[in-house]
Structure 1
Amino acid sequence: MSDLSERPVLVLGASGFVGSHTARLLVAKGRKIRVLYRRSSNQEALSGLPVERYLGDVHDPASLRAAMQGCSTIFHCVVDPRFWLTDTAPLFRNNVDGLRNSMDAALACGVDRFVFTSTMGTLGLNPDGPVTEDIEFNWMDRAPPYIRSRVEAERLFQLYCREKGLPGVALCAANTYGPEDYQPTPQGKMIWDLACGTFPVMWEAGAPTVDIRDVAEAMILAETRGCIGERYILANEYVSNRDLCAIAAGQTGVKPPLIIPRAVAHTMAWVGEQIFKLLRQKDYLVRSDAIFLSNVFRELDHSKASRELGWHPRPFSETVRDAVAWCSSYPGRHNWAKGVKPAVRPMRG
């Protein structure tokens, strides 16, 4: 492989949570960075970064090839996480077709590495212990459209690595938390609401977590240490909703929310769904799928990433502390209620 540090790299999805942190860390390491952005992209997370900007879209092959020319590595951080969409076609168009276009352009441009941000949602369930990368996806009968789109995307990625020679590495990330969550993500908004004492009720569930800064670190480690065609779990601690609420509320000393049984929350969500359907409402967040996804996984085994990439995540308590501290100093948080979807805690990855 040629000297990666001498050539530019391209971050796709750089305005998002994973992409912006990846771009920021690459800049800190002295790399030459390009980003592809749409006219509608909010670039606040990239403000002040010395990056070369290319106008385009993952659905515009010509713009992809133009941005990739001469690049050593592509960091594909594009994801459409809108599990609440009534019309789910955009999930497959953005998560699957967009990835296909990116991989085709990468092959045409002869890049050395293609690092793909996948999700823990593509992993198989293991009732007998921790989940590893070797467990194939085995719960399609329960998977909602968002998860099916991510599974289809990862399978397409593996096909390109196996049959077309894509020099790709996939990273299966758990629920991401941390500072500099400008959009914010639903889970980032939830942490702030919990710290403010304005999140009244949570259901009994739990999920694996990971610091967004540790995900960015893994992205860069995977560029040089990841094995082509392999996937790596990026997950740290399994955290129950009860503990999550206590940790976040404890940052400011407010009272944690009431915790209700998951069965009660599922019933309430199902009833809400039926009402929204009767009223012919679209894109509603109250979904039983969200309750189900919030408790799919327990422990995920990240030993492969530690062993092969040299990846070592930080404690979740540190992540929450830094997220709350950043939120408290970020003036833009006052506008969050105007545009962000209400915070829930489904699998997002």
Structure 2
Amino acid sequence: MIDKPVLVAGASGFVGSHTARALVAKGRNVRVLLRKSSDQRALENLPVQIVYGDVLDATSLQAAMKGCSSVFYSVVDPRFWLTDPAPIYRNNVDGLVNAMDAALSCGIEHFIFTSTMGTLGINPDGPVTEDIEFNWHDQASAYILARLKAEQVFLQYCKEKGLPGVALCVANTYGPQDYQPTPHGKMLWDVARGKVRVALDAGAPTVDIRDVADAALLAEQYGRIGERYIIANEFISNRDFYNMAAKQGGHKPVRMIPQSVAFGIAWIGERVLKLLRQKDFLLSTDAVFLSNVFQEMDNGKARRELHWQPRPVRETISDAVAWYTEEENR
């Protein structure tokens, strides 16, 4: 009997491409949903079936999911810097709703949704767990609120419409095959090659991109419907994180910029850019706030229920820098 195909939506992205790669390694019959404009470098030489479409096109979603057993949904619009949040909600929320409706219509057996640690609550008394409800609405940016809305609608579909879904609350991802690259991955590489010599005095939970892909496959096998799992590994300060990269690249330790200084620069920069009628700028107080809002996270639920075993962050940094170096030297 031939295995039913599985669909990876968002397969040109960092999470989606690694999920497709992990599925291929397991011998699965993999179908990927891409837009015709998608960068396909991360999928080169992978034996996957490409279906062109868009999550905002319900007909293309139906066609992509037809005959599939599982959907790995990693479509995300990460443009937190947009002045107008409408596209963020349209792509992150409306696109997900379209995909879930198609999944229900096509009888999908497993729907693995890549969410974000940004949907988790803040716990001033210790590590964050999945049980802590979101509790920082007044401080959250439009991007975070859009991702929160997406996850809330997803969990509602699981509870009220029977969507066989599992949500993964993923931390900042790093690792090899970061072709685009991600903004935080590029920062890691810039430090490793000595192009950037300063970093914000903050910290964040991290996770290896390959471990995220492993978590997605484990969630398909072991995840409980309607549950979310924290997919975050070690919390590490920027000082320690970037200095590992700097050392590997043969450079001196980076200098730290205090949070208060960075916030002040961003505050002034925002106002100047607004006076100049500029839009969609990366320099923002929201970005500074988000750089340090996420603290230690408890991944015990994923370890227990999904049998997830993430690798050390030092290995992630080493492999990422080695890959960036190889790519640059090609």
> TM-score if structure 1 supplies the norm length?
0.93
Q: Is 1:49 aligned with 2:59?
A: no
| Separation in structure 2 between the aligned mates of residue 15 and residue 203 of structure 1, nearest angstrom | 30
Task: Give distance in 1, aligned partners of 2:172 and 2:34.
Answer: 24
Corresponding residue for residue 85 of structure 1: 82
- Following superposition, the deviation at residue 64 of structure 1 comes to 0.4
Whole-Å separation in 2 of the counterparts to 1:36 and 1:236: 29
User: Which residue of structure 2 aligns with residue 63 of structure 1?
Assistant: 60
Aligned to 2:249: 252
| Residues 40-72 of structure 1 deviation map (CA, whole Å, 9 limit, x = unaligned) | 100110011110111100001111000101100
Unaligned residue ranges in structure 2 (runs of 5+): none
1:54 aligned partner, one-letter code: V
Task: Give the 3 Å change call, closer, same or farther, for CA 122–149 of structure 1 in structure 2.
Answer: same
Residues 332, 51 of structure 1: CA spacing in aligned structure 2 closer, same or farther, 3 A cutoff? farther
2:12 to 10, 15, 18: 15
**RMSD between aligned residues:** 1.2
C-alpha displacement of 1:257: 2.4
Residues 197, 256 of structure 1: 8 Å contact kept: no
Distance 1:124 1:259 in 2: 27
Q: Is contact 1:194-1:256 (8 Å) kept?
A: no
Describe the superposition over 1:149-207 as per-residue Cα deviations: whole angstroms up to 9, x where unpaired. Answer: 00000000010000000000000000000000000000111111000111132121100
CA distance in 2, matches of 1:44, 1:89: 29
2:165 maps to 1:168: yes
Task: Find the residue that maps to 1:229 and give its secondary structure.
Answer: coil
Partner of 1:327: 324
Distance in 2 separating the partners of 1:201 and 1:266:
15
1:336 equivalent in structure 2 = none
* Equivalent residue number for residue 297 of structure 2: 300
Runs of 4+ in 1 over 6 A off after TM superposition: none
Distance 1:249 1:287 in 2: 26
5 Å matches for 1:101-116?
101-116=98-113
Read off the aligned partner of 2:235 and give its amino acid letter: Y
Cα distance in 2 for partners of 1:134, 1:140 equals: 17
8 Å Cα contact 1:204-1:241 kept in structure 2: yes
String of CA shifts for 1:277-316, please: whole Å, max 9, x gaps.
0111111100010110011121100000000000010000
Residue of structure 1 equivalent to 2:216: 219
For residues 97-128 of structure 1, the C-alpha deviation after alignment (integer angstroms, 9 at most, x for no partner) is 00000000000000100000000000001100
**Aligned with 2:30 (options 29, 33, 39):** 33
SS at match of 1:129: coil
One-letter amino acid matched to 1:181: D
Provide the C-alpha distance between the structure 2 equivalents of 1:8 and 1:331, rounded to a whole number of angstroms. 35
**CA displacement at 1:233 relative to structure 2:** 0.2
Identify which range, 195-204 or 229-238, moves more after superposition.
195-204
**What is the SS of the residue equivalent to 1:162?**
helix
* Partner SS for 1:330: helix
**Aligned partner of residue 292 in structure 2, secondary structure:** coil
| 8 Å contact kept, 1:197–1:257 | no
Other structure's SS at 1:141 match = helix
Structure 1 unaligned spans of 5+: 334-349
Partners of 1:166 and 1:289 in 2: how far apart?
34
Match of 1:339 in 2: none
Q: Secondary structure at the match of 2:112?
A: strand
Conserved in 2, the CA contact under 8 Å of 1:272 and 1:286? yes
Task: Tell me which residue corresponds to 2:139.
Answer: 142
